[in-house]
Amino acid sequence: MLVRLLVLLPIINLIVGAKSSKFKNFQQNLDHFESNTKQLFNQRYIINSKYYNGSHNMLFVLGGKGGIAPDLVDKGHVVELAQKIGAVIVGLEHRFYGQSRPYDTTTSDHLQFLTSKQAVADAGRFIEWIINTELKKCTIRRTITVGGGYGGSLSAWVRARYPHLVIGSIASSAPLLAKQDFWEYDQVVVQAIGDECFNDLKTGMNEAVNWIYNYIDQIRKKLKCGSTMNAVDIIYVLADAVSIAIQNNQENGTSKYQTRKNLCDIMTAEVGKERTKADLLLTFIEQLFDNMSTSCYNISLMDERLKREQDQYVNGDREWLYQQCSEFGFFQIALPQGQEGHQLRDMSINDQFYQTQCGLIFFPQPQLNINATNIYFGGVDNFKGTNIAFVNGELDPWNRLSIQYDNIEKDALKQHNISLSPKDDRLRLQHWTVLQVANGSHSNDLWETTASDSESLNATRKYVDETVMNWIEAASLLEEERLHDKNSNISFNSPLFIVAVIVFVFSVIILIIGAIFISRRWANRKQYSQIEAPLLGDQQTSRR
């Protein structure tokens, strides 16, 4: 053990002693699927090796729909997990987001290379490269991918596509099913706020829509919508603001972020002649925008910055909208006619509304191909990845497109207010861990632990950590078995061994025969030299 420690110490010091959490660039392929395309671009990555202890473990965090920051590898639960398993943390920025831009402009022609398929291939090539170059001295043997939201989808897909490089995946709030008309989103919102709050909210929505059509200038001014937004655009913003509040709710956070409580406290207040439910709704939206430092115009699809093709506006909204318009959909529409459920959005927010926006912002308009995405990755029903921890929040509308116990049609085991993996054949076959955080929101299991975290959230993190450690233990045992098999692979009865012995014996015989032949020739030459020596002496005497 001491020898092993002494051998590891130079490696640990080399890695930990290096400056961590600094951005670097990797020369990435622009197109992984067209052999004639040789173009490369700089893809940013970042490393935090502060917690690496020679474990041969790596946590690989996938950036999603936005640029990456040092916090990706310096904060959050990924750091807490890295401390437990002694892992180096590596984060990779998604192509076309942040500073990982192949082109200076984001035209439709350039954005054709912005696909999840290319992003997964980026990760596979990068993982193979970094463990054989910059982290070569660490001899990384066990990589676990981590991601939240779209990054969580990538985490699961990378594990499924590259099981020889990745031993497991944490996929938090990860939508695996591409869906054009995502009307189910609002059904989770309604479920999260309850009947009383929903009824008041619905009343406020209906009143506000009526105001927008009749007093649009006053509404534009009140919500800072700008002069170019039409009625339907503003109606979209109303519903989107409520969605943001529920999706990103922090149940046990500060009052500023307890947005579900804030929404319902405001909407269920008493009204009268001087104050209507629409007044209450607009008050909540104003507060939400102030807390977010944004405005009605900035979160609308009419934001002129979405149309900019120059690389000046880099928060990723244009790029993500392109992916929605081309491969995912995820259009949060009103409840379709004939569909059972609750109507939250106005019927004007439909598929045609989103398709029109795609055509206005991108030229030529990308062709939306949901089927191609689901066929390639498997969606939910045909997803083939193994060793994946799927974590979803109960209040997160995106859970409807992820792997969860509801959509595998089994009852969940209840323990400590947490929905654990159902013990059914499909889960055992797939080696999935399916968890749901009670009152949890979007990817909040990846946030750093705080004293106000719920019991369910803490239990979820603990269960995920234990799952990861089980993967590592299983991978370590497999490594030992392979090493043992390699060392004991030679059998005295195996054809390979028999052939090897025959070749060896034959080679020895040839060597012996060759040695005898050479020695005899040497002896003959020596004898011949001894006979010739006197003769040469007689010849020299006679000449004299």
Q: For residue 314, what pLDDT is reported?
A: 58
pTM of the model: 0.84
User: Which tokens go with 186?
Assistant: 């609002």
CA dihedral sign, ordered 208, 210, 213, 217: negative
* CB crowding 496-512: b at 16 or more within 10 Å, else e: eeeeeeeeeeeeeeeee
Q: Where are the domains of the chain?
A: 2-177+439-483, 180-365
Considering only residues 41 and 252, tell me which one the structure prediction assigns the higher pLDDT: 41
Give residue 269's pLDDT. Answer: 96
| Burial (Cβ within 10 Å: 0-12, 13-18, ≥19) of residue 235 | buried
Per-residue model confidence as pLDDT tens digits over 29-42: 999 998 787 899 99
Which CATH superfamily includes the segment(s) 2-177+439-483? Answer: Alpha/Beta hydrolase fold, catalytic domain (3.40.50.1820)
Phi and psi based region of residue 459 (left: phi greater than 0; alpha: psi -120 to 50; beta: remaining): alpha
- pLDDT reading at 26 higher than 50: yes
Mean pLDDT of 1-21: 38
Residue 532 half-sphere exposure, CB side, CA atoms within 13 Å? 6
Contact 55/473 with Cβ under 8 angstroms? no
- Report how far residue 536's alpha carbon sits from residue 37's, in angstroms, rounded to the nearest whole number: 80
Q: Note whether 42 and 27 are within 8 A (CB).
A: yes
Task: Read off the pLDDT of residues 332-384 as tens digits, 9 standing for 90 and up.
Answer: 999 999 999 999 999 999 999 999 999 999 999 999 999 999 999 999 999 98
Condensed to tens digits (0 to 9), the pLDDT of residues 532-544 reads: 555 445 554 444 4
Task: Enumerate the β-bridge partners of residue 146.
Answer: 61, 170
Token readout for 343 is 């109507």
73 CB-side CA count, 13 A = 28
Residue bearing tokens 């209507």: 276
Confidence at residue 36, expressed as pLDDT on a 0 to 100 scale: 83
